[in-house]
Chains A and B, each alone.
Chain A
Amino acid sequence: MSHLLREHAPVTSAGWKLLDDEARERLTPALAARKLVDFSGPHGWDHSATNLGRVEEISDPPGDGIAAGQRRVLGLVELRAHFAISRSQLDDAERGAVDIDLETLDGAARRIATAENAAVFHGLASAGMQGIAEASTHETINLGEDCEVYPRHVAKSVDALRASGVDGPYGLALSPEGHTHVLETAEHGGYPLMQHLQEILGGPIIWAPGVNGGVVVSLRGGDFLFDSGEDLSIGYENHDADSVQLYLEESFSFRVATPEAAVPLPT
């Protein structure tokens, strides 16, 4: 039995399938970072740290004439998003109902996907993780509200990356608000803005909840490293007569190997 304790939940196999399928369906569109960065793993729940390949000198070595150092690692963070499912809803699903209310699970999926994106793009300082936007060595380009000028900003970002020797294709992670504006906009002559931006980038424009403005990144690989311990899973906490308390969980670390491989476009 794994630490998720799913066998202890008053949930049938069909119920778990319903929950897992719903979670997968809600998470996949929102996990923007995974569409743009390198993914390693999953290495399992007992994978606790990422090797940084660095050593730090110890000031009090255990003996004269001894040089001592300690390896530096980046500890994985665990994210959990709790939610409760009504037992009567699960019972209805067993009876064949198709309009099951899984709003609480959908909310948890939104929260954890947004948190993962925020950690990757903007970092998690308390856990020693630097985000793509913060690590960038390029001057930030203010995205602004007027999306008619987005092509100019994105082209400038792509130029900056090329000038640094960072090859494409490139992708753009865009906040939900920015993404909506782009989808709604046609430029002079009716040419869709989305298509124009994709042509400049040579890659995708990703809807990215948790991102402030936008971030242009290189997709050549090897620049941004997501290290997965346990991939997103649903676990069991407890239950009473009315509901089952569950959670979505994952563990990961994130590192920027090439700070110059991204340009932040904050609003």
Chain B
Amino acid sequence: MGFDQYHEPPSELPEEARTFARMSANLIEEAEAIDWYEQRLAIERDPDARAIMLDAEGEEFKHFSMNLEFLFRRLPLWREIAQGILFQEGDIVEHGEESEEEATEGEAAKGAPLAGSESLGIGSLRGSPE
């Protein structure tokens, strides 16, 4: 059995990092499955076969979205940047640049924990409920 999702020795990774790696691998596999169904649907003419594949692809959309939401919940900064890009009309690249800038500047101001830190991640509380 392979453990290709790890780029560091798994024994040195905390449990949360191993879960994150598994869910990231799931996300990639769901995206690949969607791509495969799209390619098959592009050439399939049989209406029954198409209906089954469309139904199956819907499952992959759901799985992909659930995996993505899980990862967003684990990485709030990723979630915050994604919020500025996903489901928005207009220029995707422009939204991406703006969202990244706003989120990372905000994160620095809030006192986000350093990478690998085991702190409680409280940082600044300016603007938090009184």
Residue ranges of A at the interface with B (Cβ–Cβ < 8 Å)? 2, 4, 6, 13, 20, 23-24, 27-28, 31, 34-36, 38-44, 204-207, 219, 228, 230-234
| A233 contacts across to B, CB distance below 8 A | 117-120
- In the complex, whether B123 has a CB less than 8 A from a CB of chain A is yes
Within 8 A of A (CB), among B32-59: none
> With A42-B111, A205-B130 known to touch, is A232 a contact of B122 (CB < 8 Å)?
yes
Q: In the complex, which residues 85-125 of chain B have their Cβ closer than 8 Å to any Cβ of chain A?
A: 109-111, 113-114, 116-125
Known A38-B126, A44-B117, A230-B117; 18 more pairs at CB < 8 Å: A28-B122, A31-B122, A34-B125, A35-B128, A36-B126, A39-B109, A39-B126, A42-B113, A42-B114, A204-B130, A219-B126, A231-B113, A231-B119, A231-B122, A232-B120, A233-B117, A233-B119, A233-B120
Q: Which residues of A contact B4 (CB under 8 A)?
A: none
Q: Within the complex, which residue of B111, B114, B122, B130 is in contact with A24, where a contact is CB–CB below 8 Å?
A: B122
- Which residues in A have their C-beta under 8 angstroms from that of B130? 35, 204-207
**B117/A231 in contact, CB under 8 A:** yes
Decide if A31 touches B120 in the complex (CB within 8 Å): no
Q: Is the CB of B120 within 8 A of A23?
A: yes
Which B residues are CB-close (under 8 A) to A206?
130
Q: Is residue B8 contacting chain A, with contact meaning CB distance below 8 A?
A: no
Contact B125–A44 (Cβ < 8 Å): no
Which residues from A are CB-within-8-Å of B119?
42, 230-233
Rounded to whole angstroms, the CA-CA distance of A155 and B97 in the bound complex is: 43
Q: How far is the CA of A218 from the CA of B4 in the complex (A)?
A: 54
Knowing A13-B15, A28-B128 are in contact, say whether A44-B120 is a contact too (CB < 8 A): no
Tell whether, in the assembled complex, residue A228 and residue B111 are in contact, meaning their CB atoms are under 8 Å apart: yes
Cα distance A209–B109 when bound, in Å? 24
Contact B120 A41 (CB under 8 A): no
A33 and chain B: residue at smallest CB distance? B125
The residue in chain A whose Cβ has the minimal distance to the Cβ of B14 is A13
- B111 — which chain A residues lie within 8 A by C-beta? 39-42, 228, 231
Roughly how many angstroms separate A43 CA and B116 CA in the complex, as a whole number? 12
A232 to B114, alpha carbons, bound, how many Å?
12
A12→B31 CA distance, assembly (Å): 34
Smallest CB separation, B10 vs chain A (Å): 15
User: Given the complex of chains A and B, what is the CA–CA distance between A113 and B100 in angstroms?
Assistant: 33
B window 60-81: CB within 8 A of A: none
Chain B residues with CB under 8 Å of A228's CB are: 111, 123
Q: Are A2 and B125 in contact (CB under 8 A)?
A: no
List A contacts of B15 (CB < 8 A): 13
> Which residues of chain A come closer than 8 Å to B128, judged between CB atoms?
28, 35
Measured CB to CB, the nearest residue on chain B to A109 is B120
- Given known contacts A13-B15, A42-B113, A231-B111, A24 and B120 CB-to-CB distance under 8 angstroms: yes
Determine the residue in chain B with the shortest Cβ distance to A204: B130
Complexed CA–CA distance, A43 and B114 (Å)? 7
Q: How far is the CA of A34 from the CA of B113 in the complex (A)?
A: 15
